């Protein structure tokens, strides 16, 4: 056993789902599980004037969060090596530092903070674009395994494809590779009704097939379903998520951690996916697919 998966917890239902997913993934990869909770008034958006009054209770709460998360992981996977870590500081910054030596960072889609009412919390969005390893954001878990991984890709998606093919190979799952081709911005053409449109679409399909071939050669055991369609990438990938155990997308996020910068496709999939989403930056792909 070499390495670990890190999961961030805050006591929320979404974090509990993240622990379940991370425990299962750690067993699949023969890794340990590290559960991290960030304690402090900043973690819960509590005004400074209340800090002294609540600090002791936050310490107690933090300890209980870690105990419950560890117990959940051990119930889920009784033989999984688990350790817990309590940190203080700004949540996104602390978890990013914890991700430096992790194979993957797993987070709930939203927590208990003031900015967590949307489908994706601010911490998850920030880390998905900037963590040094692949980040898996867990919504509701599928009731049963479907045996399928979905990946959105284009000519610049080597990181996402590397991760997705390795994950499908590891699980013995089929891989649905989704490439959405956007037709010209101003076009009266309809697929199947105009030769020029059909030629453009066929050229796009051919390029996508060539992109996939490199990864097919590396993972001959993986059954690949090519899904090359005209239209928007977010809509196509989110439709594929309905039959998948995991969706994989790339990220070209740049800028400071506080900017929470994600590409429009990654952000759209995080908000619309019906299963957990792995966001893979180029520098993170080799880490996440190596174990």
**189-198 LR contacts (CB < 8 Å, sep 24+):** 191/230
Which pLDDT score, from 0 to 100, does residue 40 have?
Answer: 62
Which pLDDT score, from 0 to 100, does residue 118 have?
Answer: 44
- What CA–CA distance (Å, rounded) separates 250 from 269? 11
Which pLDDT score, from 0 to 100, does residue 113 have?
Answer: 47
- What CA–CA distance (Å, rounded) separates 104 from 281? 12
Kindly calculate the radius of gyration of the chain based on its CA atoms and give it in whole angstroms.
20
Q: Is the pLDDT of residue 290 over 60?
A: no
- What CA–CA distance (Å, rounded) separates 262 from 130? 8
Q: Is the pLDDT of residue 115 over 70?
A: no
Most confident of the following: 3-7, 37-41, 42-46, 280-284: 3-7
21 touches 138 (CB < 8 A): yes
23-47 pLDDT, tens digit each: 999 999 999 999 999 986 554 445 5
Please indicate whether residue 113 or residue 262 has the higher confidence score (pLDDT): 262
SS3 at position 179: strand
Which pLDDT score, from 0 to 100, does residue 54 have?
Answer: 53
171-221 pLDDT, tens digit each: 999 999 999 987 765 555 555 556 777 787 888 889 999 999 999 999 999
pTM: 0.85
What tokens were used for 229?
Answer: 């369609």
Please indicate whether residue 146 or residue 112 has the higher confidence score (pLDDT): 146
Which pLDDT score, from 0 to 100, does residue 90 have?
Answer: 87
Which pLDDT score, from 0 to 100, does residue 62 have?
Answer: 87
Which pLDDT score, from 0 to 100, does residue 174 have?
Answer: 98
Average pLDDT score over residue span 146-161: 94
Which pLDDT score, from 0 to 100, does residue 76 have?
Answer: 98
> What are the structural domains of the chain?
4-138 (3.40.50.620), 148-290 (3.40.50.620)
């Amino acid at each position: 056993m070499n390495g670990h998966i890190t999961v961030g917890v805050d006591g929320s239902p979404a974090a509990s789902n993240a622990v379940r997913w991370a425990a299962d993934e750690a067993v699949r990869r023969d890794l340990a599980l590290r559960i991290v909770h960030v304690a402090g008034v900043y973690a819960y958006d509590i005004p400074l004037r209340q800090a002294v009054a609540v600090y002791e209770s936050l310490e107690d709460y933090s300890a209980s969060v870690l105990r419950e998360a560890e117990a959940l992981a051990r119930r889920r996977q009784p033989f999984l090596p688990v350790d817990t870590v309590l940190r203080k500081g700004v949540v996104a910054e602390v978890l990013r530092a914890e991700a430096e030596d992790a194979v993957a960072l797993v987070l709930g889609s939203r927590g208990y903070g003031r900015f967590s009412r949307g489908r994706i919390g601010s911490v998850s969005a920030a880390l998905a674009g900037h963590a040094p390893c692949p980040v898996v954001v867990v919504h509701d878990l599928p009731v049963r395994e479907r045996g399928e991984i979905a990946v959105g890709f284009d000519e610049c998606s080597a990181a996402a494809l590397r991760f997705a093919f390795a994950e499908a190979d590891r699980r013995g799952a089929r891989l649905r590779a989704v490439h959405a081709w956007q037709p010209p911005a101003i076009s009266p053409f309809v697929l199947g009704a105009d030769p020029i449109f059909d030629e453009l679409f066929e050229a796009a399909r051919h390029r996508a097939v060539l992109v996939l071939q490199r990864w097919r050669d590396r993972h001959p055991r993986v059954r690949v379903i090519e899904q090359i369609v005209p239209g928007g990438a977010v809509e196509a990938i989110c439709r594929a998520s309905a039959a998948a155990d995991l969706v994989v997308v790339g990220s070209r996020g740049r800028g400071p951690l506080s900017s929470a910068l994600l590409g429009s496709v990654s952000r759209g999939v995080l908000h619309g996916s019906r299963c957990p989403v792995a966001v893979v930056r180029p520098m993170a792909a080799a880490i996440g697919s190596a174990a």
